Amino acid sequence: GASGATGASGATGATGPVGATGPIGASGATGPTGATGPVGATGTTGFTGATGPGFPAIFAYIYNTVEIDNIPLEADVPLSTNGLIVGSIEHTPGTAGVTINTSGTYEITFMVEADRVNQFALFLNGTLIPGSIYGIGAANIQNTGRVIVSITASATLTIRNHTSFQPVSLLADNGGTQANVNASMRIIRLL
């Protein structure tokens, strides 16, 4: 015979247990960089450091305007006058030796104007300073020399008539009526 009518639906069953967590998905693409933030305020200025030790000026200009007859070979040239002397350099006018009382590196320039061809040099404590022999092949022309040398304190510096052919004289009135400088020494401490 014919099928009977469909019966009424049964009641909903209880919820089943939660399933296991699935695997983590792939990372998304990196987002764009954010805008730069504002510049922070300037920090306070630090303390000023202590002042370093100074480098004292040491220099001198010493010269001669007195006529000197026949300076023998290997004799030192006396210098009659102290010009400006600053720092620990000493010289007694009319004597040859200039005393350097501070160790350091010095530039020393000398000039001699003699009546004959000549060779003059600088001596330190009685010993020739290498590279300081300068010569001139004519009379009454300035013979000028210069060296840079390390000097230990309490040293004595002189200009010497060294390896000339003969004694020479320094005239006091070359070219005019006034006393002129016929020998000089300039000393400057570099270091």
pLDDT tens for residues 105-147?
A: 999 999 999 999 999 999 999 999 999 999 999 999 999 999 9
**How large a percentage of the chain has pLDDT more than 70?**
100
DSSP designation for 77: P
Determine contact, residues 91/122, Cβ cutoff 8 Å: no
Residue 188 class from Cβ within 10 Å (0-12 exposed, 13-18 middle, 19+ buried)? middle
Taking residue 159's Cβ as centre, other Cβ atoms within 10 Å add up to: 27
Among 25-29, 44-48, 60-64, name the one with the lowest average pLDDT.
25-29
Among 33-42, 129-138, 142-151, 162-171, name the one with the lowest average pLDDT.
33-42
Tell me if 9 is assigned to some domain: no
Measured distance CA(6)–CA(121) in Å, rounded: 140
Tell me if 127 is assigned to some domain: yes
CA atoms within 13 A on the CB side of 155: 21
Q: What is the DSSP string of 2-58?
A: PPPPPPPPPPPPPPPPPPPPPPPPPPPPPPPPPPPPPPPPPPPPPPPPPPPPP----
Tell me if 4 is assigned to some domain: no
Cα–Cα separations (whole angstroms), residue 88 to 3, 129, 138, 144, 147: 138, 21, 36, 25, 20
- How many domains does the chain fold into? 1
pLDDT tens for residues 138-152?
A: 999 999 999 999 999
Tell me if 179 is assigned to some domain: yes
Tell me if 77 is assigned to some domain: yes
Domain with 128 in it:
59-189
Query: Does pTM surpass 0.75?
Result: no
Is the per-residue pLDDT at 176 higher than 80?
yes
CATH number at residue 116: 2.60.120.40
Beta bridge partners, 151, equal 104
Residues in the chain: 191
Tell me if 25 is assigned to some domain: no
